Chain A
Amino acid sequence: MSDRPHPLLIVIAALVYLFLMVPLVIVVGAALSDTTYLTFPPQGLSLRWFENIFQISAFRRTIVTSLQIAFLGTLIALLIGIPAAYALNRFRVELPKWLGTLFLLPILVPEIVFGFALLKSLTVGTGAPIFLALLIGHTLIVLPYVVRVISASLASFDFSIEEAAISLGSAPVKTFFTIVLPNVRGGVIAAFILAFITSLNDVSVSLFLTGPGISTLPIQILAHVEQFFDPTVASVSVLLMVLTVAVMAIVERTLGLTFLAK
């Protein structure tokens, strides 16, 4: 056995990377173009389309809304998801098996169907304010990730550690915070980041729940493309990409990306 990979393997790997990277390179290039239309390779170099993002009030507003929804939705999902994941793991033997699957439903059902269902039941059904409907919708789509990631963390947590603490005189609720939570800290952080990114990038559910005056960034990008063909869209895309990469870089630095693969 030679320890050098087969040349064909290198070629295939290179092609796969090319296939993945080229669209991103084109978007970044287009975003930097000085022209008033989307073009690649960029003609002239300029950051004016990045400035333009913040000159368009719809972008300013939707960036704020997207960040608010992502942050609050993730927070609520954690508040629901952590206890749920804890119960699912702690009482794995006692609870029925399908209960765990139930929490995955929002990502098992096609998102477009889920979005439509939420529109019917929330916005049309109860007349809930748009922001609230968005928040509920996003909480629901990120909840499966939260439950899944924290469950993975708890699966390797030895619950006799919790019992040891209780036997030493620590009340159960206190034990959860002082013993269980610190030992799944990595899972909680990973869940937060994964949920945040998922919410930030969501299109299909938001499409149904946005309405007059309130929208999210990805929906605003779609709306913008329908009317304009300038590089602003490319620069917004780059911005969204940078945000995602920055978050991923933080995960990589603090926990390692393998954490997400668990």
Chain B
Amino acid sequence: MTQPLHIEAVSAHYGTTRVLEDLSLSVQAGELVSLLGASGCGKTTTLRLIAGFLSPTSGSITLGGRDLTRLPTHKRDIGLVFQNYALFPHLSVLDNVAFGLKQRGIAADERRRRAMAMLDRVGLSVLADRAPGALSGGQKQRVALARALVIEPPLLMFDEPLSNLDAKLRVDMRVEIRQLQRANGTTSVYVTHDQEEAFSISDRVAIMNAGRLMQFDRPEVLYRRPANTFVARFVGFENVIPFQVVARDGDMVTAETAGMRLGLSQSLYGTIPDAFLLATRPDGLTVSSDAAADGLPARLGLRTYLGRAYQYQCETAAGHLVANGSLTAPLQAGARVKLVPVPEQCTILAAGGDE
């Protein structure tokens, strides 16, 4: 039942505005892939193209060898879960779930049996006769999930399914979604703007920006080794410092930025180009009051409390940076300090890369 999805060189336009540019993406059979990005990045457009609510201006979409590109939505056999649930208000919970089976010409008894079994799996069989309006948000989304799963689609798609739920329920529901998806082994595409959500449940994540795919990889790779400054900033590498290589000695590279020299090992980062960007999260910069420390001279600005650390806004010759300092020795605004990069928590990006 489970099938791979291939999107090949797909572009899409709204009127004359290009909203998706030459997107290629493959989802393996049984894999859950998230499309992640801010609103307007093209993730929802991509989902609507796969669903058939939009037509691409070029490119092709195939599902398990079946060309979907020109197929109308109702013949695509895709399970969809919407942000606002989109349950049929005039049908009971059971009839909502059985709707897709009815379209497939399955007899009433069998429909009922299968719909009940699916409602049982999402823990809602006792609510089968209720109207959707009488359910809570979480229950509605479970019904929507059951409705999409019961037709045993080769592809399941989620459009920000948890955005309307409160924080605690979001976490519970995403675990539930992942478990059901795993158990069924259904190829899935999951659209979200929530990075934690995407990273926690996906096999791979496609980070998108302005209608283009910025990076497509496992969450672990995206989190530690972003491929460009856009992805780096997106996953929290708030500090991006430009460096120039001034000396090379085998594995070791000495690089320089305004006010600081740094020795870097290529065994840690791979080949380092002559001009590069060093990116770190606030945790990757140690705040040192020691004037003799080998770091970037900085003047501290606003201090905020994060619970596990203090965070400082810092002014340096390399621009505005953000660093986290220890809770035991809070520093005052205006203090002169050194910011020392922690090599393991830094990553190297090509200068002038995709922004």
- Contact (Cβ within 8 A) A169 B84: no
- Does B317 belong to the interface (CB within 8 Å)? no
- Does A101 belong to the interface (CB within 8 Å)? no
Which of B78, B90, B104 is A167 in contact with, Cβ under 8 Å? B78
For the A-B complex, the count of residue pairs with Cβ-Cβ distances under 8 Å equals: 61
Residues from chain B with Cβ under 8 Å of A168 in the complex: 74, 99-100, 103, 147-148, 151
> How far is B52's CA from A172's CA once the two chains are assembled, in angstroms?
12
- Contact (Cβ within 8 A) A163 B53: yes
Residues from chain A with Cβ under 8 Å of B61 in the complex: none
- Contact (Cβ within 8 A) B73 A166: yes
- Given A163-B80, A167-B80, A171-B74, is A183 in contact with B99 using a C-beta cutoff of 8 Å? no
- Does B77 belong to the interface (CB within 8 Å)? yes
- Does B79 belong to the interface (CB within 8 Å)? yes
- Given A167-B80, A168-B103, A168-B147, is A161 in contact with B88 using a C-beta cutoff of 8 Å? yes
Residues from chain B with Cβ under 8 Å of A161 in the complex: 86-89
**Which residue among A160, A168, A183 has the maximum number of chain B CB atoms within 10 Å of its CB?**
A168
- Does B231 belong to the interface (CB within 8 Å)? no
User: Which of chain A's residues has its CB closest to B78's CB?
Assistant: A167
User: Which of chain A's residues has its CB closest to B90's CB?
Assistant: A182
Task: Name B9-53 residues within 8 Å CB distance of A.
Answer: 51, 53
- Does A223 belong to the interface (CB within 8 Å)? no
- Does A252 belong to the interface (CB within 8 Å)? no
Task: Name B83-102 residues within 8 Å CB distance of A.
Answer: 83-84, 86-90, 99-100
Main secondary structure of the interface of A (DSSP, over half): helix
- Does B310 belong to the interface (CB within 8 Å)? no
Contact with B along A166-196 (1 / 0, CB 8 A): 1111111001000100110000000000000
- Does B234 belong to the interface (CB within 8 Å)? no
Which of A158, A160, A172, A182 is B74 in contact with, Cβ under 8 Å? A172
- Contact (Cβ within 8 A) A160 B103: no
Contact with A along B136-180 (1 / 0, CB 8 A): 000000001001100100000000000000000000000000000
User: Which of chain A's residues has its CB closest to B104's CB?
Assistant: A169
User: Which of chain B's residues has its CB closest to A181's CB?
Assistant: B90
- Does A164 belong to the interface (CB within 8 Å)? yes
- Does A165 belong to the interface (CB within 8 Å)? yes
Contact with B along A181-217 (1 / 0, CB 8 A): 0110000000000000000000000000000000000
> How far is B79's CA from A169's CA once the two chains are assembled, in angstroms?
10
Q: How far is the CB of A173 from chain B (nearest CB, A)?
A: 10
User: Which of chain B's residues has its CB closest to A163's CB?
Assistant: B53
> How far is B148's CA from A161's CA once the two chains are assembled, in angstroms?
13
- Does B230 belong to the interface (CB within 8 Å)? no
> How far is B78's CA from A227's CA once the two chains are assembled, in angstroms?
72
Q: How far is the CB of B140 from chain A (nearest CB, A)?
A: 12
- Contact (Cβ within 8 A) B88 A167: no
- Does B82 belong to the interface (CB within 8 Å)? yes
User: Which of chain A's residues has its CB closest to B89's CB?
Assistant: A183
> How far is B73's CA from A172's CA once the two chains are assembled, in angstroms?
9
- Contact (Cβ within 8 A) B103 A164: no
Which of B77, B82, B86 is A169 in contact with, Cβ under 8 Å? B77
Residues from chain A with Cβ under 8 Å of B80 in the complex: 163-164, 167
> How far is B88's CA from A168's CA once the two chains are assembled, in angstroms?
12
> How far is B51's CA from A168's CA once the two chains are assembled, in angstroms?
11
User: Which of chain B's residues has its CB closest to A170's CB?
Assistant: B103
- Contact (Cβ within 8 A) A167 B51: yes
> How far is B104's CA from A172's CA once the two chains are assembled, in angstroms?
15
Task: Name A123-182 residues within 8 Å CB distance of B.
Answer: 158, 160-161, 163-172, 175, 179, 182
> How far is B191's CA from A95's CA once the two chains are assembled, in angstroms?
28
> How far is B73's CA from A166's CA once the two chains are assembled, in angstroms?
6
> How far is B52's CA from A63's CA once the two chains are assembled, in angstroms?
52
- Contact (Cβ within 8 A) B79 A167: yes
- Point out residues on B near A: beta carbons under 8 Å: 51, 53, 72-80, 82-84, 86-90, 99-100, 103-104, 144, 147-148, 151
- Point out residues on A near B: beta carbons under 8 Å: 158, 160-161, 163-172, 175, 179, 182-183
Closest 4 CB pairs of A and B: A169-B103, A168-B100, A164-B86, A160-B86
Enumerate 23 A-B pairs (CB-CB under 8 Å) in ascending A order: A160-B83, A161-B86, A163-B53, A163-B80, A164-B86, A164-B88, A164-B144, A165-B99, A166-B73, A167-B78, A167-B79, A168-B99, A168-B100, A168-B147, A169-B151, A170-B74, A170-B99, A171-B72, A171-B74, A172-B74, A175-B74, A179-B88, A183-B88
Q: A161-B88, A163-B51, A168-B100 are in contact. List 7 more A-B contacts (CB 8 A).
A: A158-B84, A163-B80, A164-B88, A167-B51, A168-B74, A169-B74, A183-B88
